[in-house]
């Protein structure tokens, strides 16, 4: 009896219905990963990202040495902008309009995406996703 219940619980629904004489066409695969059972749904199914630590004294980040400087760090999918001596703000570089990442410009506190020229403030209150960051001299820590 337990084997029958276990079969009914775990078997593909179309196979069970077909066995009972009910014809049905449906794939037996599911989107569920039965091997893990620990899918994180708190971040739209994307695994949480570890903090990123950047030494901005590295030449790659030379644009961030001066207030107003900015950098599209495509490899990490982030935009960085030097707001003050003590602050660098960090944003997801995915455009809120259609998700493009590679045609940004920045001027006067505003990012502009070159695909359709939508603009986004650097004040962390708009639709451009802003991340928490701390700057300790030249070490920038970003929390995602
Ligand atoms: S994709 Fe950025 S403005 Fe359209």
The rounded Å distance from CA 64 to ligand 1 centre is: 24
CA 121 to chain centre: 19
Q: Which of 81, 144, 66 is nearest to 112 (CA)?
A: 81
Alpha carbon nearest to ligand 1 atom 4, residue: 116
Could you tell me which CATH number the domain at 52-143 has?
2.102.10.10
Band (45; pLDDT cuts 50, 70, 90)? confident
Question: E strands of the chain, at which residues?
Answer: 52-55, 70-73, 78-82, 88-92, 104-107, 110-113, 119-121, 130-136, 139-143
Find the mean pLDDT for residues 75-83: 98
pTM summary value: 0.71
- In this prediction, residue 47 carries a pLDDT of 83
Probe ligand 1: pick from 92, 94, 95, 119, max atoms within 8 Å of CB?
Answer: 95
pLDDT digits (tens, 9 = 90+) for 1-29: 445 554 445 454 444 444 445 444 444 44
Q: Where are the domains of the chain?
A: 1-30, 52-143
Q: How far, CA to CA in Å, does 8 sit from each of 1, 13, 36?
A: 11, 8, 21
Could you tell me the two tokens for 5? 């219940």
Give the Cβ contact number of residue 57 at 10 Å: 13
The rounded Å distance from CA 96 to ligand 1 centre is: 7
Matching residue, tokens 């639709």: 127
Judge if the beta carbon of residue 118 lies within 6 A of ligand 1. yes
Alpha carbon nearest to ligand 1 atom 3, residue: 116
């Amino acid at each position: 009896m337990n084997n029958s219940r276990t079969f009914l619980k775990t078997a593909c629904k179309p196979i069970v219905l077909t066995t009972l004489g009910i014809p049905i066409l449906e794939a037996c695969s599911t989107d569920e990963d039965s091997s893990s059972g620990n899918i994180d749904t708190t971040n739209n199914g994307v695994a949480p990202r570890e903090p990123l630590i950047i030494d901005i004294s590295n030449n790659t980040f030379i644009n961030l040495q001066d207030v107003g400087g900015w950098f599209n760090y495509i490899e990490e999918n982030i935009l960085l902008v030097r707001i003050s001596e003590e602050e660098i703000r960090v944003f997801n570089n995915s455009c809120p309009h259609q998700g493009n990442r590679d045609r940004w410009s920045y001027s006067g506190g505003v990012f502009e995406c070159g695909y359709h020229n939508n603009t986004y403030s650097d004040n962390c209150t708009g639709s451009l996703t802003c991340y928490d960051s701390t700057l300790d001299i030249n070490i920038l820590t970003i929390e995602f």
